[in-house]
Chain A
Amino acid sequence: GAGVSQSPSNKVTEKGKDVELRCDPISGHTALYWYRQSLGQGLEFLIYFQGNSAPDKSGLPSDRFSAERTGGSVSTLTIQRTQQEDSAVYLCASSFFFQGGSVDGELFFGEGSRLTVL
């Protein structure tokens, strides 16, 4: 499809295990975002990639969280030594480079990856 694709859609893991979540952005979008949504909560910004610029990692909650974006396209969010409080829906979004006010800066979100840590 033409939208943002995320995998897996659901992941159940045991406390202490590492997990990887994948995001395929819309072709041509240079900006990529990761957000987290815990049960009943709003969306929490995690990280932002734009082209070859250094990513904005200001939202990552701990050093157990990391993300990379290879070739300016696919991104992987990695959570090491998962904890129960990491349980959430992880949402990826992509957009054209935000040039200020333009609708081209609209974020397109994927369906999310639901992570459950037992």
Chain B
Amino acid sequence: DAKTTQPTSMDCAEGRAANLPCNHSTISGNEYVYWYRQIHSQGPQYIIHGLKNNETNEMASLIITEDRKSSTLILPHATLRDTAVYYCIVRGVNSGGSNYKLTFGKGTLLTVNP
């Protein structure tokens, strides 16, 4: 699996945009970038995923660089409830092999401050 690198922690002011970076310099052409988050004492929650185009849903936006070696998860208006560990994960696009498996790293602890 391609590995990802994320900062250990970040802070953000409530109401401001939170921009969480992720490096995945060894990503291959058939691997997606997934983002999950884990609020304290809860199981992880899916946020968004993308291959090479930018993606947006009701939770967040995902910006992937043209060379696909890095990406940024954007929470446009962070709230206190967005305080969580955010995981950036690379996952193969094909249904074969062990691509069903998500490999979680340490993630980024985002703290949203009032």
Residues of B within 8 A of A43 (CB): 44, 102, 104
* Cα–Cα, bound, A101→B46 (Å): 13
Contacting pair B42 A111 (CB below 8 A): yes
Q: Is B101 a contact of A56 with CB atoms below 8 Å?
A: yes
List CB contacts (< 8 Å) of B1-47 with chain A.
32, 36, 41-46
How many residues of chain A get a CB closer than 8 Å to chain B's CBs? 29
Q: Select which of A101, A103, A109 is within 8 A of B44 by beta carbon.
A: A109
Q: How would residues 79 to 101 of chain B score, 1 for a CB under 8 Å from any chain A CB and 0 otherwise? A: 00000000100001111001111
Nearest B-chain residue to A95, judged by Cβ: B100
What sequence of 0s and 1s flags, for each residue 48-63 of chain A, a beta carbon within 8 Å of any chain B beta carbon? Answer: 1010000010100000
Question: Given the complex of chains A and B, what is the CA–CA distance between A35 and B104 in angstroms?
Answer: 10
Are the CB atoms of A100 and B49 closer together than 8 Å?
Answer: no
Chain A, residues 10-41, CB within 8 Å of chain B (1/0): the string is 00000000000000000000010101000001
Asked if residues B44 and A31 are in contact (CB atoms below 8 Å), the reply is: no
Nearest-Cβ distance from residue A48 to partner chain B, whole angstroms = 6
CB A39 to nearest CB in B, in angstroms, measures 12
Contact residues, B35-80 vs A (CB, 8 A): 36, 41-46, 49, 51
Contacts A98-B100, A101-B51, A103-B49; A4 near B95 (Cβ below 8 A): no
Taking a contact as CB atoms under 8 Å apart, the answer to whether A112 and B101 are in contact is no
> How many Å from the CB of B77 to the closest CB on chain A?
23
Whether A93 touches B43, Cβ cut-off 8 Å, given contacts A42-B104, A42-B106, A48-B100, is yes
| Neighbouring A residues of B98 by C-beta, 8 Å | 56, 58
Task: Indicate if B113 sits at the interface (CB-CB under 8 A).
Answer: no
